[in-house]
Structure 1
């Protein structure tokens, strides 16, 4: 049977991708950010999964604002990096695991999630930057990746509770897949930030660190936080943190926190990153 062995969460700040692609990771400004990912880059060498289910949000690159699914799963054989206005990132094609994606989609519908199936799309920095941070600059990604797009850009977004339940449903679906696969679930986005309006530039360190504490040890409390609480405390884009709850719920209640990193600033936001190992 397939199993979920670990979970990773990280911010997906666009400027991080630019720093990687332009060879600026050791610049004075960026070096402290990338130091926070040295652990995972070494750890993943001995813990490379067969498949990553990666919860991310599209930034009006493939899913334009005329059609906004709440939850969507990629069904193409491959996905290329989206052109977000400055060309495609020079990263490998993402290869899907179609059989597992189909199984997860079917089980999610059985569990009453009306998941959208997307047969063709490009993937933007929300997905490619986490892959680059973990795997580095490689010719091919060392595992298959199932894109799981979550709407955190257009109201109404899903609640934290709904994302938690989605993570639980993904966990149940993976456990019933008959092939022997090592699966990781990743959550991306956040942490606190706001890109527009009178609070543009907001970073709430106290909120971010409380979120990280609860995510590791009392995650069920996070599922009760409302969208208004995220908006008020973490800014308009801080709602992206609900995608971390998908990852956390998919691991079950018991995890070992192998690594935690938090850094302010990186561009106009805080950066957060965790690595969890699922307990048997």
Structure 2
């Protein structure tokens, strides 16, 4: 059986690459500290020595739109073209070609179906910065195959927070059941409080710093009960019109097994709180 060796959850700020590769005189004041934090976070993945990455993100209306918008989708392609034109233009993101693992994608799709999650699938998926950014920050050498899973966090009606958590648990089980000796790391990205295009965009902090601090503590402690008690679609909307990206953090807590995080870091970047979490499997832990 495959071994889940690490679970990581982070924000996917698209300006990181441009901010840290610009000439020194053009870099933002926080660039050096931001790069230091990312490199420390990257070491938590390297330590796990994975063979394959299961990557959870959310399409930003690039390939998935309102004419056909699944709640959850898995990629089953041999490779994935990455980065859309507007992401190159606005964020300076490079193009990538990511290798897929068709066998694991097929197995995971069937396993999730057997666990009552009817995922859509794509054999021609193109991925955007929710998956490109963690490649840049966590595995810039881009040397591992991926299994991408997309969630809908933008187009109501959205699945419930409980459904996101349960999907994380199902992904965890699928990884553990995969008949292979591969070492698997699961990486998911979302965000804390966030406002896009609204009146609270580009404030000195995220639009709801109180929620940000509380969310970090919930995730640090693995307190899924508190999250499910206090976090609703309505509460996330009040915290910022794009705060529903937090659902992907909740999903990753399900993958991790709702345990205390082994690594936690955060950085306030003028309009959003960046956050980074890593969970390693606990020996002898039973669920």
Q: 1:179-217, CA deviations, whole angstroms, 9 ceiling, x for partnerless residues? A: 112111122021211112333345222211211111132
Match of 1:207 in 2: 211
The equivalent of 1:157 in structure 2 is: 158
Q: Are the counterparts in 2 of residues 71 and 116 from structure 1 also a CA contact under 8 Å?
A: yes
Q: Which residue of 1 aligns with 2:3?
A: 3
Instruction: Return the match for 2:240 from 235, 243, 250.
Output: 235
In 2: Cα distance, 1:191 partner to 1:153 partner: 14
1:87 and 1:187 map into 2 onto residues whose CA distance is 22
**Superposed CA RMSD:** 2.1
Structure 1 pair 21/63, CA: closer, same or farther in 2 (3 Å)?
A: farther
The 1:190/1:160 distance shift into structure 2, 3 A limit, reads same
Q: What is the CA–CA distance in structure 1 between the aligned matches of 2:47 and 2:220, rounded to whole Å?
A: 23
Q: Is the contact made by 1:203 and 1:270 (CA closer than 8 Å) also made in structure 2? A: no
Deviations 1:110-132 (A, max 9, x none): 11111001110211111111111
**Paired residues, number:** 274
Work out the CA distance in 2 between the residues paired with 1:236 and 1:196. 9
Give the aligned partner of residue 96 of structure 1: 100
Measure the CA separation in 2 of the matches of 1:18 and 1:26. Answer: 8
Identify if the C-alpha distance between structure 1 residues 260 and 230 changes in structure 2 by more than 3 Å, giving closer, same or farther.
same
Closer/same/farther in 2, CA of residues 46 and 200 from structure 1, 3 Å limit: closer
Q: What is the distance in 2 between the residues matched to 1:171 and 1:44? A: 17
Within the candidate set 222, 226, 250, 2:232 is matched to: 226
Gaps of 5+ in 2: none
Partner of 2:191: 190
SS of residue in 1 equivalent to 2:126? coil
Instruction: Provide the residue aligned with 1:54 in structure 2.
Output: 55
Aligned residues of 1:192 and 1:270 also touching (Cα < 8 A):
yes
Instruction: Mark the runs of 5 or more structure 1 residues left unpaired by the alignment.
Output: none
- Deviating above 4 A after TM superposition, structure 1's stretches of 4 or more consecutive aligned residues are 20-27
State the Cα distance separating 1:44 from its structure 2 match.
2.9
Structure 2 SS opposite 1:236:
coil
Judge conservation of contact 1:48–1:143 (CA < 8 Å) in 2.
no
